[in-house]
Structure 1
Amino acid sequence: MLSSRSVLNVTVTGPHQGVLGLVMFPIITLPCCVFLFINLTMLYTLRSRPLFREASRYVLLFNLLLVDTVQLFQSQSMFLLSAVSFTMLYPVCAALTAFSSLAHCVSVVTLVSMCLERYVAVCYPLRHSAIVTLRNTGAAIGIIWAVSSSHVIVQLSLMLSRFSVADLGVMQMVYYCGKESAFIDPVSDQYDRAFTYFLFLLGAATVSFAYAGIIVAARSASTDKASALRARRTLLLHLVQLGLSMSSTVYNSLLIVITSSLERVPAVRLQVSLYMAVIILPKCLSSLIYGLRDQNIRPILIMNLICQCRGSA
């Protein structure tokens, strides 16, 4: 994982080395680039019309898409660096790991906020415009980033506090940069696990609460049945998205188990499937959920995608 010219020296077999990385490179890079293109076009779409800039649900969606796109780009960049056996200093790896945790935390909590917004829209339609205002949404996003940044500061402090400045200047990663290689101190690893479990429980409880509330509200004669049905389907998709997003936190651990217990060819196939399912797919689900299902976004997104494709041809 890392080496140092001092007494610190820990090694582990990297998950993407040699032929393994070269085989996975074209299989993973192409769909990742496609989804990055879709996400970037979706971000442009959400900023292109006043309707999207002034509606709270679309502002939350923009924030979610932004961090998901950044995560997707970083994940692919780290994969490429691992595939070519690029090494880096431990402080750089720690900073990248902390930044990934920041984006992950913002993504999950924003997803939870979007579920609550749908709950208010269906269960309290007359009060929705007073509760979910653009100002309140901006304040909520600010709180999300502040809390997530505080978590990352604590996480980074725990990772680096064990070493002196002199040690940090010479410690270099041997194989790949990931949580398993960055969290050397058991305290930082336990803190990350505890916070991850907290995020998962918070997300699952919120989505379940909102879903149950919408089911109850749908039985009321005053509730728009079509709106309630769309909200229920959206929350179910968000629950899947949340599960996939949380599963990405154990991706590197799964890779270590796979590469140590399977032959090379089955390991490559399983790693490609896992990477697509828990790393790439959760980062593009928001574009698919809203880009294909939202009647306001769909025609504008399709038009922008066609224009972008024609412009690049």
Structure 2
Amino acid sequence: MQSLRVNISSSSNLLTDPAFKLILVQVLVGIFLYVNCLMIFTFLKKEVFWEDTRYILFAQMLFVDSAVMVLTDVLLIESFYQLRIHTISCIIMCVVVSTLKSCTPLTLVAMCLERYVAICMPLRHADISTSRTRFVGFLIIWSISTMSTLFTFIAYLSVVRPDVLFSNVVCSLEIMLEKEWQAQARAVILLLSFLLMIIIIVFTYIKIMIAARAASSEKKNSTNKSLRTVLLHAFQLFLCIMQFLTPYIEMPLWKLDVMVFYNVRYSNFIVFIIAPRCLSPLIYGLRDEKFFAVLSHYAMCGLTGFSQLRSGNRK
């Protein structure tokens, strides 16, 4: 009985050990990056995916999520070891990460709109989903992503002392929130963006649901699957938006208790950084029959045979 208590106590100490937590994060990040790289490789190897808007959006999300995961993991390691880097380098990294983070929810909205067009306007889908439309869509996504980050960056430069830019700091995304009004302005922008994106997703869900009720028995499976996809995107969007609010939860804790701050930051990283980015491979990589057929072929190093691959492409 005493040895059992000792084992439980040692296991509990292991789970609360900061070094063990950091190693666990590296394992999760490694698994995530391996799956993402495999899916990116699958997308690049099959030209049929290059002509489909939803797969192109999916590929962009994989690239963006992988970059966000690597950069935020670097920031987490720097914070854990209290490594100090040049402020200008930190600002550049924060601008890149913030822009990429904003890109993910906007891409989710674009994917919901693509499903809406495919289900509710099937005859016009080919005319709407063209290379020109995709270019305009990507331009809008990246422009909006850059605008919110640019506002934060300019606001930071307007209040920061010049000598601070040439000092060394422990880098974090909160470094550019120098004044309280900056954090409040950023929160308002995020709230308005979130409301707009939710309205668009609810609109697409309602339209697809109406189409599902009116669809024939042959098309009901495809329509119902699109409904579930939009719901998963909505949940994924909620998690992505929540990651922007985590600094407002973490910053007050830094002044109260450093250990609580690190524990909360660790939990937020797992729930709001890793979790929503694990949903992308699930939604399209595993639930999509055509993509999964090609993915399984390359994952098994071609051992599944080309007959399965060809049948997956016909779906």
Q: Map of 1:6-155 to 2, 5 A cutoff?
A: 21-155=18-152
Aligned letter for 1:156?
A: F
- After TM superposition, the structure 1 stretch with the greater mean CA deviation from structure 2, 227-236 or 93-102, is 93-102
Alpha-carbon distance between aligned partners in 2 of 1:25 and 1:305, rounded to the nearest angstrom:
28
Question: How many angstroms does 1:271 deviate by?
Answer: 5.3
Alpha-carbon distance between aligned partners in 1 of 2:136 and 2:258, rounded to the nearest angstrom:
51
Task: Say whether 1:203 aligns with 2:197.
Answer: yes
Question: How many angstroms does 1:258 deviate by?
Answer: 6.2
Alpha-carbon distance between aligned partners in 2 of 1:41 and 1:246, rounded to the nearest angstrom:
27
Task: Say whether 1:185 aligns with 2:189.
Answer: no
Question: How many angstroms does 1:157 deviate by?
Answer: 1.2
In the alignment, is the contact (CA less than 8 A) between 2:152 and 2:182 conserved in 1? yes
Aligned letter for 2:236?
A: Q
In the alignment, is the contact (CA less than 8 A) between 2:187 and 2:245 conserved in 1? no
- 1:194 to 1:253, Cα distance in 2 relative to 1, 3 A: closer
- 1:275 to 1:149, Cα distance in 2 relative to 1, 3 A: closer
Question: How many angstroms does 1:161 deviate by?
Answer: 1.9
Paired residue secondary structure (2:228): helix
- 1:166 to 1:269, Cα distance in 2 relative to 1, 3 A: closer
1:210-230 Cα distance to aligned partner (Å, 9 max, x none) = 111111111214582111101
Question: How many angstroms does 1:156 deviate by?
Answer: 1.1
As a proportion of its length, which structure holds more helix? 2
In the alignment, is the contact (CA less than 8 A) between 1:39 and 1:284 conserved in 2? no
In the alignment, is the contact (CA less than 8 A) between 1:39 and 1:65 conserved in 2? yes
Aligned letter for 1:116?
A: L
How many residue pairs match? The answer is: 286
Paired residue secondary structure (2:85): coil
Paired residue secondary structure (1:126): coil
Question: How many angstroms does 1:138 deviate by?
Answer: 2.0
In the alignment, is the contact (CA less than 8 A) between 2:160 and 2:178 conserved in 1? no
Name stretches of at least 5 consecutive residues in structure 2 with no aligned partner: 1-15, 303-315
1:82-107 Cα distance to aligned partner (Å, 9 max, x none) = 11111123333222222122111111
Alpha-carbon distance between aligned partners in 2 of 1:130 and 1:75, rounded to the nearest angstrom:
39
Alpha-carbon distance between aligned partners in 2 of 1:258 and 1:250, rounded to the nearest angstrom:
14
- 1:77 to 1:204, Cα distance in 2 relative to 1, 3 A: same
Alpha-carbon distance between aligned partners in 1 of 2:295 and 2:17, rounded to the nearest angstrom:
36
Aligned letter for 1:148?
A: S
- After TM superposition, the structure 1 stretch with the greater mean CA deviation from structure 2, 213-222 or 60-69, is 213-222
Task: Say whether 1:295 aligns with 2:295.
Answer: no
1:92-143 Cα distance to aligned partner (Å, 9 max, x none) = 3222222122111111111101000101111111111111223211221122
1:247 to 242, 260, 270: 242
Larger-gyration structure (1/2): 2
Paired residue secondary structure (1:109): helix
Paired residue secondary structure (1:307): coil
What TM-score do the two structures reach when normalised by structure 1?
A: 0.83
Aligned letter for 1:93?
A: C
Alpha-carbon distance between aligned partners in 1 of 2:21 and 2:191, rounded to the nearest angstrom:
30
Aligned letter for 1:239?
A: A
In the alignment, is the contact (CA less than 8 A) between 2:106 and 2:141 conserved in 1? yes
- After TM superposition, the structure 1 stretch with the greater mean CA deviation from structure 2, 207-216 or 92-101, is 92-101
Question: How many angstroms does 1:284 deviate by?
Answer: 2.4
- 1:232 to 1:82, Cα distance in 2 relative to 1, 3 A: same
Alpha-carbon distance between aligned partners in 1 of 2:94 and 2:228, rounded to the nearest angstrom:
33
Question: How many angstroms does 1:268 deviate by?
Answer: 7.1
2:225 to 216, 220, 230: 230
Name stretches of at least 5 consecutive residues in structure 1 with no aligned partner: 1-18, 309-313
Aligned letter for 1:254?
A: I
Alpha-carbon distance between aligned partners in 2 of 1:252 and 1:96, rounded to the nearest angstrom:
16
